[in-house]
Structure 1
Amino acid sequence: MESRLRVQGHPIQPMLVTFPFGLFVSAAVLDLADVAGGPAFLGEVGYWTAVAALVAAALAAVAGMVDLWDVRADRTRRTVVTCNLVNGGMAALFLLACLIRAQAPHRGATGVELAVELLALAVGSIGVWLGARLVRQFDRPPAAEPAGFEALADLPGPTVEIIRPPA
């Protein structure tokens, strides 16, 4: 599967998916701390973290749809569609929790909203597993690049020569 959206030979969509998932996990942890009796501001921060994750999820979904355009109609396409739908389901569950919390005065989480978020994370882990499988299957790194100090040899700039005094 060759992606149209690439940065230095690597597809963008798998990189973008990490942001919403990480933000969703952070939001759930903050909400767990709020429900467990932590300071009230943790619920507010958890809410806004989930909102930021929804924005990032929308960007990742757009990149996923662009990548879907070039996938052959076979088992791979079904896996890509399933991965995108699962990630969309996770985002939909968080959206539901955010819409409910938007009506609250301090936007803190309740036990039910935390349960919805944890369910969403369980659904999202399936999407992460499918996405990782696709990346391992199709992401071929560009031609071997030098690593370590060999990579510095190709950098432009003045040549430095070390002169040692005679012994």
Structure 2
Amino acid sequence: MQSRLRVQGHPIQPMLVAFPYGLFVCATIFDLADVAGGPVFLGEVGYWTAVAALVTAGLTAAAGMVDLWDVPPDRTRRTAIGFNVVNAGMAGLFLLSCLVRAEAPNRGATAVLLVVEVFALAVGGVGVHLGARLMRHFEAGRAEAAGFDALRGGVDAPTIEVVRPRPVIRPRP
């Protein structure tokens, strides 16, 4: 099975997942520095970094839902649904943190919100594990060129493809 949304043959969602994860980690680091007594602006930087992460998490979730349509109803589908639910849970915890901080004068974090963010990152760690399992499954049957042959794909601008699956015709019992 291949992803429906691809850029030059590579699935888009695994590429997008790196953005919210990285931004959530950066937001937590900024908030940790703010709570630890750093300059006041670090709290606001952490807040806006978390908001950017939530936007990218929404885009990633949309790409994941498109890919989920074609996953066969088996263990892989359960893993894909679990991956998306775990990522939504992580984003929900950060959304909660952002909503609490939205009305604060400098949007700084508190120790309690920092604990919520660290817990959300731990939940995201489960998502990383599930995502790695999905990538191993989806890439298992795909043969790719190794070494310098992999670089010979051309230098054209990347193209985004939407692949429509062929209907599955199953014999009647």
Give the TM-score range, shorter chain.
Answer: 0.7 to 0.9
Q: Which residue of 1 aligns with 2:28?
A: 28
- CA distance in 2: counterparts of 1:142 and 1:16, whole angstroms: 23
1:114-133, aligned counterparts within 5 Å? 114-133=114-133
Shift of 1:151: 3.9
Give me the CA root mean square deviation: 1.9
Cα offsets for 1:119-148 (capped at 9, x unmatched): 000000100110011112212556426617
Shift of 1:59: 0.1
Query: Is 1:137 aligned to residue 137 of structure 2?
Result: yes
- CA distance in 1: counterparts of 2:95 and 2:106, whole angstroms: 17
- CA distance in 2: counterparts of 1:41 and 1:123, whole angstroms: 27
- CA distance in 1: counterparts of 2:43 and 2:143, whole angstroms: 44
Which runs of no fewer than 5 residues in structure 1 stay unpaired?
156-167
Query: Is 1:42 aligned to residue 42 of structure 2?
Result: yes
- CA distance in 2: counterparts of 1:80 and 1:141, whole angstroms: 19
Query: Is 1:14 aligned to residue 14 of structure 2?
Result: yes
Query: What SS does the corresponding residue of 1:147 show, helix, strand or coil?
Result: helix
Letter in 1 for 2:17: V
Q: Is the 8 A contact 1:24 1:50 kept in 2?
A: yes
Letter in 2 for 1:144: A
Q: 1:74 to 1:141 in 2, by over 3 A?
A: closer
Query: What SS does the corresponding residue of 1:80 show, helix, strand or coil?
Result: helix
Q: Which residue of 2 aligns with 1:102?
A: 102
Q: 1:32 to 1:84 in 2, by over 3 A?
A: same
Query: Is 1:113 aligned to residue 113 of structure 2?
Result: yes
Q: Is the 8 A contact 1:10 1:141 kept in 2?
A: no
1:60-79, aligned counterparts within 5 Å? 60-79=60-79
Letter in 2 for 1:147: F
Q: Across the two proteins, how many residue pairs are aligned to each other?
A: 153
Query: Is 1:55 aligned to residue 55 of structure 2?
Result: yes
Sequence identity (%) = 68
Shift of 1:8: 1.3
List structure 1 runs of 4+ shifted beyond 4 angstroms.
Answer: 140-143
Q: Is the 8 A contact 1:9 1:141 kept in 2?
A: no
